[in-house]
Copies of this chain bind each other. A is one copy, B any other.
């Protein structure tokens, strides 16, 4: 099983990487770019457990390590 965990910055939290990328794209002549936001994705391969168990474990992984609840929202998608 493969879980894709999307880690996004919460609305209102500054996104230095996104802002720097936007500036660079505008400098390169891409004037139609209005906003860039950066998202981190972790593809996690899990074996040896049921789907239900894996879902619980990934939620725990997000809470314990992958996402900082103060600045991040996260979303889990399963790749079958």
Residues of B within 8 A of A66 (CB): 21
Residues of B within 8 A of A57 (CB): 30, 32
Partner of A32, one of B6, B24, B49: B49
- Contact of A39 with B34 in the complex, beta carbons under 8 Å: no
**Docked complex: A22-80 residues within 8 A CB-CB of B:** 24-25, 28, 30, 32-49, 54, 57, 60-61, 64-66
Assembly CA distance A26 to B33 (angstroms) = 40
Residues of B within 8 A of A18 (CB): 42
Residues of B within 8 A of A38 (CB): 40-43
Q: A-B pairs with the 5 shortest C-beta distances?
A: A39-B41, A35-B45, A37-B43, A34-B45, A32-B46
